Amino acid sequence: MATRGSRTRVGKYELGRTLGEGTFAKVKFAHNVDTGENFAIKILDKEKVLKHKMIGQIKREISTMKLIRHPNVTRMYEVMASKTKIYIVLEFVNGGELFDKIASHGRLKEDEARKYFQQLINAVDYCHSRGVFHRDLKPENLLLDANGVLKVSDFGLSAVSQQVREDGLLHTTCGTPNYVAPEVINNKGYDGAKADLWSCGVILFVLMAGYLPFEDSNLMQLYKKIFKADFNCPSWFSTSAKKLIKRILDPNPETRISISEVIGNEWFKKGYKPPVFESEDVSLADVDAIFNESGDCKNLVVEQREERPLTMNAFELISTSQGLNLSSLFEKQMGLVKRQTRFTSKCPANEIISKIEEAAMPLGFDVKKSNYKMKLQGEKTGRKGHLSIATEIFEVAPSLYMVELRKSGGDTLEFHNVWYFKLTVIGSDFLIVNVDSIIISTN
């Protein structure tokens, strides 16, 4: 493997590959050079946050993560700031998404699904006890560590109890349509705890069935199904599991089962192990300092960059896989609905960039290049806005590069079914194909 070269460094953390990104933030792999520990660092652009008036939401996310200390929730360790960026240091969870497990292996057996559901309920119940409501629970936001322990992540849409209005309800409509509770869509105010539990019920259904209880290409038809709780449990669900799911997916929040009742349910209690952890006193006094415009924040850091492809050592390459399963390092199956793919090439980095650009532009992508990275922005508006694909090149050995293509915006299914393309090397030739194996460009 290539020797680790100089790369971006923020304080005591050396930054590596991008793990994920969205409109206002990017998450990168990070290595603490003092301790040797690995982390994930969420990087936010202050200018974008201010421009879009997102200060309140970002402060809320940081406050939420500082409040939570639970074995089934990704942990936030510290926050740093520079004049232009905010850096949130998070626990690095390398077992992949629970979503990937379902996509790869299909539905789970009832006992395995129950195990994950128990961990999910433990985490959500704890969050609610601290006045925190997630509001976007779905398999993509449920991670697994190397030991298969579930970790709830992504509190970007969470709400703290101070946001509850005088009527005792939350009023912001958010979340992912297939998982969102009917009262959230109704826009008349909702109980955050009951709405989260509905999403947990949908997740349990997906784990056991391998598909969604509410699905329709027409959004209004989808909402009608949700309002009526129009779904049927598959025949392989046990009777007790069916009864519990139907009590959770009750469209009337007043009669919907509570989390405490779920925990007391006989089906839920089978093999149940309560979480073991120590509570800690957490101060939120430093949150405002992150947005200190005077620049005298005690955590002020400087980000240093180098214009070349990142080198990746053996350990970091292994960390891209789920646990120590190296078979998932590079994609070989095109049938999985995933948000990223990787492949290797012996061609020069500049040539790889050029070939991807040549193939992407006829597909209607606007291409932006910077420091061996590319951003492909779709011209057409899809179900969740414009599809955006981030591309990054890593040097893993002399004359050997790993290329990662990652959905950074838009709909995951559109990324897979419509625009998803992969670059492979056949001899010395490049072949770019879409999911239906239609040749787009060859050289």
Residues involved in catalysis: 136
- Name the 3-class secondary structure at 81: strand
- Name the 3-class secondary structure at 369: strand
- Name the 3-class secondary structure at 83: coil
Instruction: Encode burial over 404-438: b for 16+ CB neighbours within 10 A, e otherwise.
Output: bbbbbbbbbebbbebbbbbbeeeeeebbbbbbeee
CA distance linking residue 94 with residue 40, whole number of Å? 10
- Name the 3-class secondary structure at 152: strand
Measured at the CA of 324, the angle between CA 312 and CA 87, to 5 degrees, comes to: 50
Cα 47 to chain center, whole Å? 23
Query: Checking DSSP bridges between strand 76-81 and strand 421-426, what pairing results, if any?
Result: unpaired
Query: Checking DSSP bridges between strand 385-397 and strand 310-311, what pairing results, if any?
Result: parallel
CA atoms within 13 A on the CB side of 436: 5
- Name the 3-class secondary structure at 235: coil
Task: Kindly tell me the burial class for residue 203, based on how many C-beta atoms sit within 10 Å of its own C-beta (0-12, 13-18, 19 or more).
Answer: buried
Q: Check whether 369 is labelled as a binding-site residue.
A: no
At 147, the amino acid letter reads N
Residue 32 bridge partners (DSSP): 13
- In total, the chain counts a number of residues equal to 443
For residues 270 and 114, the answer to whether their CB atoms sit within 8 Å is yes
For residues 41 and 27, the answer to whether their CB atoms sit within 8 Å is yes
CA distance linking residue 146 with residue 357, whole number of Å? 36
CA atoms within 13 A on the CB side of 152: 35
The pair of structure tokens assigned to 350 is 């500049």
For residues 247 and 260, the answer to whether their CB atoms sit within 8 Å is no
Q: Which residues are annotated as a binding site for ATP?
A: 42
Q: Which residues are annotated as a binding site?
A: 42
